[in-house]
Amino acid sequence: MKLKLLYIIALILGVMGCKSPEARRPVTQNSGSFINESIQRNKKLVAKEEAIILKMIQQDSTQDYIASSNGFWYYYNKKSTDSLNVEMPEYGDVVRFDYNIKALDGNYIYDVGEIPTKRYAMDRENLFGGLREGLKLMKEGETVTFIFPSHKAFGYYGDKDRIGTNIPIITEVTLHSITQEINTNKSDN
């Protein structure tokens, strides 16, 4: 009798052991509403900043603003008239430039003397997005004023010093030199 009982228990355990495991269901389920709300918040922020910038541009009749395809505006303070100087920085080129940063009201956040002259290898080093894209539009010797919405400047985090969260900026950039990348790994195929 005990032997039959052991066989039955072993048979039941064997059958139960062959059962495939069931997936556990999460305790809570997110519908993605946080991400959707964040997207809507960011769209509203961008629209608000762009409206402020466009109003500022409309009120300034002294400059000819150009809308960049990258989502910012700019005008030339000093444009290169040298027809031989047509080169703009490309990937890997080292540029040397000065710049300042102002709030949209025109007050300096960082003046030219506060930011040392920068040497930057194009697209190989960290630099805020708008300035990285703006440098690609410049020629050696030019001075350009850029107006960047916050998402093209320092964004949500700011610069962790003087520029706060979601602050659009104006920056005047002077490109002193472009040193072309010398690629010694090119082969003659």
> What does the pLDDT read at residue 184?
46
What pLDDT does residue 187 have?
44
| pLDDT-above-70 percentage for the chain | 89
pLDDT at 189 over 60: no
Please give the pLDDT value at position 170: 98
Mean pLDDT of the chain: 88
Q: What pLDDT is stored for residue 29 in this prediction?
A: 63
Q: Taking 90 as the threshold, does the pLDDT of residue 41 lie above it?
A: yes
Whole-angstrom CA distances from 136 to 114, 116, 152, 180 are: 24, 20, 15, 13
Answer yes or no: CATH 3.30.565.10 is held by domain 64-179: no
pLDDT of residue 32: 72
Question: Per-residue confidence at 186, pLDDT binned at 50, 70, 90?
Answer: very low
Q: Residue 141: which region, alpha, beta or left (left: phi > 0; alpha: psi -120 to 50)?
A: left
* Span 145-164, average pLDDT: 95
Give domain limits for the chain: 64-179
Query: What confidence tens digit (pLDDT) does each residue in 19-35 have?
Result: 666 777 777 666 678 88
Confidence category of residue 59, pLDDT binned at 50, 70, 90:
very high
Contacts of 172 (CB under 8 A, 6+ apart): 77, 99, 100, 102, 112, 143, 144, 145, 146
CB atoms within 10 A of CB 168: 22
Residue 4, pLDDT score: 80
